[in-house]
Structure 1
Amino acid sequence: MIRKIDCVMVPVGDLEEAAAFYSRVFDLRRLWQDESSVALCLPETDAEIVLHTMELPSDVNVHYLVDDVPTAVATYSARGAVVRTAPFDIGVGRCAVLEDPYGNPVCLLDLSKKPRG
């Protein structure tokens, strides 16, 4: 369902709990881990989400490109993600914001309208 993810760092309170959440909800796979970080990725990509317990800027979040935002919201909320902002129209398609157990936003985008340009 997820088509693209960029490398980002996400602050969490518990690495194992957060890794389990992102694996269960978004089908991410563990790449590596150290004392303060766990890196996860989508199958067949090199893009990473690095969950961490370090002090970093709070405006870091995850942006997923999906085929259909309403379908993705239904799927991921059924797996335990909280819907922070229901699907809404944007210039190129639809957008919604989910939330992980630590309050981090997880933004979903689709390109269901004709791309700009």
Structure 2
Amino acid sequence: MLRKIDCVLVRVPDLTAAADFYTGVFGLRPLWRDASSVGMGMPDTDAEVVLHTMDLPADRSVHYLVDNVPDAVRTCQSAGCVVREPPFEIAIGLCAVVQDPFGNVVCLLDMSKGPRAS
């Protein structure tokens, strides 16, 4: 039987540096590690971001729900991220796109306008 696993693969050149970065900036926690990857747990969920050095396509992006997009963008910038798209309005709040120091795109969004109506 199949079961759902929430996982996103993120290619990085250095596992230790990337794990430290994703722990410090995004609050992820290391769950497991092998020679080519580190599983990083997301708070309040069983979803994982798997940092890896394998030769897989790099066109993945991670989406983080944050409390406040402008604050999150400032935190990311101070940690070495480049802002690719500054905060812009979306139906539920704000969104921004940053690039981490390893070249990965990270989308930040908040629900400052509240969830979508059913």
Relative to the length of structure 2, the TM-score reads 0.83
Aligned partner of residue 76 in structure 2, secondary structure: helix
Partner of 1:11: 11
Aligned partner of residue 54 in structure 1, secondary structure: coil
Larger mean Cα displacement after TM superposition, 85-94 or 38-47: 38-47
Partner of 2:33: 33
For the Cα contact (< 8 Å) 1:25–1:81, is it kept in 2? no
Distance (Å, rounded) in 1 between the aligned partners of 2:58 and 2:42: 23
Runs of at least 5 residues in structure 2 that lack an aligned partner in the other structure: 1-5
Deviations 1:57-114 (A, max 9, x none): 2221110011221121122322332222111112221100111112110100112224
* Higher Rg: 2
Partner of 2:3: none
Partner of 2:71: 71
Q: Which amino acid aligns with 1:106?
A: V
Inter-CA distance 45–114: structure 2 relative to 1 (3 Å threshold):
closer
Paired residues, number: 112
Relative to the length of structure 1, the TM-score reads 0.84
Partner of 1:3: none
Runs of at least 5 residues in structure 1 that lack an aligned partner in the other structure: 1-5
Partner of 1:58: 58
Q: Which amino acid aligns with 2:115?
A: P
CA RMSD in angstroms, aligned pairs only: 1.7
Deviations 1:16-43 (A, max 9, x none): 1111111121121111001110111134
Distance (Å, rounded) in 1 between the aligned partners of 2:92 and 2:82: 24
Higher relative contact order (CA 8 A, sep 6+): 1
- Percentage of identical aligned residues: 62
